[in-house]
Amino acid sequence: DTAVSQTPKYLVTQMGNDKSIKCEQNLGHDTMYWYKQDSKKFLKIMFSYNNKELIINETVPNRFSPKSPDKAHLNLHINSLELGDSAVYFCASSQGADLAEAFFGQGTRLTVV
């Protein structure tokens, strides 16, 4: 069974569109994250949720809105997509806010054209 699963794996869309990426974890973890990996492979945290509450928001444009309906899910909605949003987005989860060990999903490659 996949521990952290993201859908879709690939997403190609036009500028200006709104899109969502879904993430689910079946590990029973209480903390979930979104990371962005840019074209130079640099990974940087975007958001972190603990028990459905936002605890980290790293200067991400407000076009990006995470939604956590329950602690097993953390979806990422992006409005008015721009070319610069093209990247690989990784979802991750961990147990406990003090423990920085995270399990990662396979990533969603977003291409904005």
Please report, as ranges, the residues that interact with another protein according to CB under 8 A. Answer: 4, 31, 33, 40-45, 48, 50, 55-56, 58, 90, 92, 97-107
Cα gap 88→28, rounded to integer Å = 25
Which among 41, 32, 48 is positioned nearest to 103, based on CA atoms?
32
User: In this complex, which beta carbon is closest to another protein, that of residue 102 or of residue 112?
Assistant: 102
Residue matched to tokens 């991750």: 92
Which of 14/59 has CB closer to another protein? 59
User: Whole-number minimum distance, CB 108 to another protein, in Å?
Assistant: 10
> Whose Cβ is closer to another protein: residue 13's or residue 107's?
107
Four-residue CA torsion sign, 71, 2, 93, 35: negative
